Amino acid sequence: TRTPVNVTVTGAAGQIGYALLFRIASGHLLGSDVPVKLRLLEIPQGLKAAEGTAMELDDCAFPLLRGIEITDDPDVAFDGANVALLVGARPRTKGMERGDLLAANGGIFKPQGKAINDHAADDIKVLVVGNPANTNALIARSAAPDVPAERFTAMTRLDHNRAISQLAAKTGAAVSDIKRLTIWGNHSATQYPDIFHAEIAGKNAAETVNDETWLADTFIPTVAKRGAAIIEARGASSAASAANAAIDHVYTWVNGTAEGDWTSMGVVSDGSYGVAEGLISSFPVTTKGGAYEIVQGLEINDFSRTRIDASVKELADERDAVRELGLI
């Protein structure tokens, strides 16, 4: 019998947490033969709701779920953690300045990074979902100097999945026929979904579409603004698809990308493609054996260069702002 994997989820009582926890417990995060122990971190006001969710998890009698612990103490929540999903964050409220937003999130992600540094298992893998995800990941990472930097990642998989879906709808292809799509940059409205290296059933996607106006005026803004469109339609934010993307991100990280394909992850830049070293930016990555590599050698045309640079500039600005606040 396998030792259970410790999975910590922050903001566990929130909307995304509610859509996420049941799939972790049923084996979708790591694999259908991997037992898990859940640690749920919440702020004190969220503890009671987290207990309610834990009661429902019990009531599912999931064979793979070997325990649930609920706490408001990061040191307890991350003790021995193998996988950490940082979902809880301070949302931007009306009239809030960016500096206030970054400072509020620094107050969450800095102590969590330190707790991960001091208490997590040696093989810890961290995914930041809570926004601004890339910069929150940067803050957590900076507070964890003993953890290899590449273990801190930010989620752009939802953007990646949205882009695949839009491209499939445009071309009539099956989503499973679309490979090598890339999200570059920040998980924000400046993100750049790139189809120039993507393939549809083995043929180049940009050539198949052959419509730069659609690309610039429809595809890119539709993907980048999809979150707002869902809030408009549903009256609530995209919790289930965000949870699904978090599952996909970790599953791919642990279990590997398919031969000939890649995925998109916010990872610490090594300077590839002119992205300043140390920024947590989305790149095309392949994964194998629990590790990942940034795909190298892709040719970046002018259309892509401008858009990648704009999103990376936003990341650099966010980094400078949190540096000024003493958060990194």
Token digits for 57? 């998890």
Counting every residue, how long is the chain?
A: 328
Strand intervals (E) in 114-215 = 125-128, 152-154, 178-179, 182-184, 192-194, 199-200, 203-204
Q: Which of 63, 91, 145, 274 binds ligand NDP (CB under 6 A)?
A: 91
Q: Under the criterion CB under 6 A, does residue 291 sit at the interface with ligand NDP?
A: no
Rounded to a whole number of angstroms, the minimum distance from the CB of residue 222 to ligand NDP is 14
Token digits for 22? 């049941």
Q: Spell out, one character per residue from 124 to 163, where the chain touches ligand NDP: x when CB under 6 A holds, - when not.
A: -----xxx--------------------------x-----
Rounded to a whole number of angstroms, the minimum distance from the CB of residue 225 to ligand NDP is 12
Q: CA 238 to CA 187: how far, in whole Å? A: 14
Strand intervals (E) in 42-164 = 65-71, 83-86, 125-128, 152-154
Token digits for 205? 């996607």
Phi, psi of 282 (to 5 degrees): -80, 140
Q: Is 17 annotated as a binding residue?
A: yes
Q: Which of 7, 16, 29, 30 binds ligand NDP (CB under 6 A)?
A: 16
CB 154 within 8 A of CB 282: yes
What letter would DSSP give residue 78?
T
Q: CA 126 to CA 103: how far, in whole Å? A: 21
Q: Which of 239, 279, 308, 328 binds ligand NDP (CB under 6 A)?
A: 239
Cα-based angle 126, 4, 120 (whole degrees, multiple of 5): 35
| Locus of tokens 């930041």 | 128
Stretch that binds ligand NDP, among 14-22, 57-65, 146-154, 265-273 (CB under 6 A): 14-22
Q: Which is nearer to ligand NDP, 47 or 209 (CB)?
A: 47
Stretch that binds ligand NDP, among 163-171, 194-202, 233-241, 316-324 (CB under 6 A): 233-241
Stretch that binds ligand NDP, among 82-90, 117-125, 255-263, 288-296 (CB under 6 A): 82-90
Which residues, numbered 92-111, are part of the site for ligand NDP (CB under 6 A)? Answer: 108
- Given the residues 119, 160, 187, 197, select the one marked as catalytic: 187
| Locus of tokens 């989503």 | 175
Active-site annotation holds for 187:
yes
Burial class (CB in 10 A: 0-12, 13-18, 19+), 210: exposed
Burial class (CB in 10 A: 0-12, 13-18, 19+), 285: buried
Q: Which is nearer to ligand NDP, 88 or 284 (CB)?
A: 88
Token digits for 154? 């930010």
Q: Which of 46, 106, 113, 266 binds ligand NDP (CB under 6 A)?
A: 46
Q: Site for ligand NDP (CB under 6 A): how many residues? A: 26
Q: Which of 5, 30, 85, 89 binds ligand NDP (CB under 6 A)?
A: 89
Q: CA 260 to CA 266: how far, in whole Å? A: 20
Q: Which of 117, 165, 237, 255 binds ligand NDP (CB under 6 A)?
A: 237
Rounded to a whole number of angstroms, the minimum distance from the CB of residue 90 to ligand NDP is 6
Which residue's CB comes closest to ligand NDP?
Answer: 14
Question: Using N-to-C axis directions, what is the helix angle for 239-255 and 15-25, rounded to 10°?
Answer: 40
Stretch that binds ligand NDP, among 6-14, 269-277, 287-295, 312-320 (CB under 6 A): 6-14
Q: What residue numbers does the annotated binding site for substrate cover?
A: 92, 98, 131, 162
The catalytic site residues sit at: 187
Q: What residue numbers does the annotated binding site cover?
A: 11-17, 92, 98, 105, 112, 129-131, 162
Q: Which residues are near ligand NDP by CB under 6 A? A: 10-11, 13-17, 41-43, 46, 87-91, 108, 129-131, 158, 227, 237-239, 242
